[in-house]
């Protein structure tokens, strides 16, 4: 049986899971990708305890996935920006979204991810189904889907 950590595992999946496998961590990353980069925005969207959010944000900063930047002097306030290492996690979250939409989304996808240039959607390879361009974190946008209304 695996222990709570995966230190002895010589496996990239285990190492990645050790870094981002905790559920709040993945949801925090989702929020940052959505543009919710400030502490209060994340806390409000997730309903997470302040101490848990603080700990997870510190963990993501130490791992080089997020970078804290000051956006206000008095009082000092910060936002959390994805580093290149963090942006490289976008395909991971997108594959989770695609799988969840296919197997778990009652009433349809809660969110549509669309190519900014043409409005197409990602296929299972993260290629735009309309124009064929590869999609990435910087060339997509989101809009509400029918599944969002189904739970409201």
The predicted structure's pLDDT at residue 5: 66
Q: For 13-39, what is the mean pLDDT?
A: 95
- Write the DSSP symbol of residue 34: H
More confident position, 7 or 58: 58
Tell me if the bond preceding 39 is cis, omega within 30° of 0.
no
pTM, to two decimals: 0.89
The per-residue pLDDT for range 75-130, each reduced to its tens digit, is 999 999 999 999 999 999 999 999 999 999 999 999 999 999 999 999 999 999 99
The per-residue pLDDT for range 34-60, each reduced to its tens digit, is 999 999 999 999 999 999 999 999 999
The top-level CATH class assigned to 12-86 is: mainly alpha
More confident position, 25 or 152: 25
CB neighbours (10 Å) of residue 123? Answer: 13
The predicted structure's pLDDT at residue 1: 43
The predicted structure's pLDDT at residue 151: 53
* Domain locations in the chain as residue ranges: 12-86, 90-151
Predicted confidence band at 4 (pLDDT cuts at 50, 70, 90)? Answer: low
The predicted structure's pLDDT at residue 88: 98
Tokens of 32: 């940052």
| Helices within the chain (DSSP H only) | 12-20, 23-34, 39-46, 50-62, 84-87, 90-103, 146-151
The predicted structure's pLDDT at residue 10: 86
The per-residue pLDDT for range 55-79, each reduced to its tens digit, is 999 999 999 999 999 999 999 999 9
């Amino acid at each position: 049986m695996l222990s709570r950590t995966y230190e002895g595992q010589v496996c990239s999946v285990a190492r990645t899971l050790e870094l981002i496998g905790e559920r709040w961590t993945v949801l925090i990353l989702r929020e940052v990708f959505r543009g919710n980069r400030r502490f209060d925005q994340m806390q409000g969207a997730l309903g997470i305890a302040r101490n848990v959010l603080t700990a997870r944000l510190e963990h993501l900063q130490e791992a080089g996935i997020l970078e804290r930047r000051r956006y206000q002097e008095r009082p000092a306030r910060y936002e959390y920006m994805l580093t290149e290492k963090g942006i490289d996690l976008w395909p991971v979250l997108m594959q989770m979204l695609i799988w969840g939409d296919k197997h778990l989304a009652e009433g349809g996808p809660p969110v549509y991810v669309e190519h900014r240039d043409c409005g197409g959607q990602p296929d299972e390879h993260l290629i735009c189904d309309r124009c064929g361009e590869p999609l990435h974190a910087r060339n997509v946008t989101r809009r509400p889907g029918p599944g969002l209304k189904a739970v409201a």
